[in-house]
Amino acid sequence: MAFFDFLQQYWPRLLSGTGITLAQFLLAAVLGIAISLAMGLMKLSHNAVVRGAAVTYIEVFRGTSLVVQLYWIFFVLPLFGLSIEKFTAGYLAVGMNIGAYGAELVRGGILSVPKGQWEAALAINMSPAQRMRRIILPQALVNMLPPWGNLMIELLKGTALVSLISVADLMFEAKQINATTFLSAQVFGAALVIYYVLARFMVTPFMRWLEHYMARKLGRV
């Protein structure tokens, strides 16, 4: 079957899969950013217990595979009475995984803010919370945005794994179409191109724009 006939017949399913992929991506991104911030700050805490909790979280999620985490959340948590719907389990696993990687970026970003900024904030009598929110985090954010761009691409690719627990994302639809039609080159080729377009023409330009926007906000252009 020619490629265009194929697309004509199957585009609605590919499109709905892409929609689910984007939803998973956005939800996992929000969750991942929140976790990154919390764990990154906790790892810098002076309290050994708080720091220990963050280190444990980061090492466990970075030390095991996303597939393992996904299966564990979806198949094992119900045994403890915590049944999670597959769509939720999907972005939960991807977001928690990315959060562990993001936490290191947050930590690095905060440490890269010059010491004088901390001292200046202290000198004008800011509380630790004010200092973090108004002085340190905005500058840390600008410093860590470039590696976040790569992490967001990893996140998008990570969402393809939710197909393993039957969330009907792009990867899942491609697999299903392949199983019924055996038009492997067409369907997997189309899915590859869609993922590439999402990464290259949506995620990357957005992150670039965000970098410029934040840098301008801080008067760094």
Which residues lie near other proteins (CB under 8 A)? Answer: 59-60, 62-69, 71-72, 75-76, 79, 153, 156-158, 160-161, 163-164, 171, 174-175, 178, 182-185, 188-189, 191-192, 195-196, 199-200, 204
Nearer to other proteins, 11 or 196 (CB): 196
Query: CB of 138: closest distance to other proteins in angstroms?
Result: 29
Helix (H, G, I), strand (E, B) or coil at 37: helix
Q: In whole angstroms, how close is the CB of 113 to other proteins at the nearest point? A: 23
Q: Which is nearer to other proteins, 106 or 198 (CB)?
A: 198
Sign of torsion over alpha carbons 132, 136, 141, 144: negative
Query: Considering the complex, what minimum distance in angstroms separates the CB of residue 185 from other proteins?
Result: 5
- For other proteins, the closer CB: 102 or 141: 102
Quick one: how many helices (H) and strands (E) in the chain? 10, 0
For other proteins, the closer of residues 87 and 169 by Cβ is: 169
* Residues 194, 14 contacting (CB under 8 angstroms): yes
Task: Output the smallest distance, CB 193 to other proteins, in A.
Answer: 9
Shortest distance (Å) from residue 71 CB to other proteins: 5
CA angle at 39 for the pair 37 and 40, rounded to the nearest 5°: 65
On the CB side of 31, how many CA atoms lie within 13 Å of its CA? 18
- Say what the alpha-carbon torsion angle 164, 207, 61, 87 is, to the nearest 10 degrees: -30
Alpha-carbon separation of residue 218 from 8, 143, 212, 221 (angstroms) = 48, 11, 10, 8
For residues 117 and 181, which CB has a smaller minimum distance to other proteins in the complex? 181
Nearest approach, Cβ of 184 to other proteins (angstroms)? Answer: 4
Nearer to other proteins, 84 or 164 (CB): 164
Asked if 117 and 155 touch (Cβ cutoff 8 Å), the reply is no
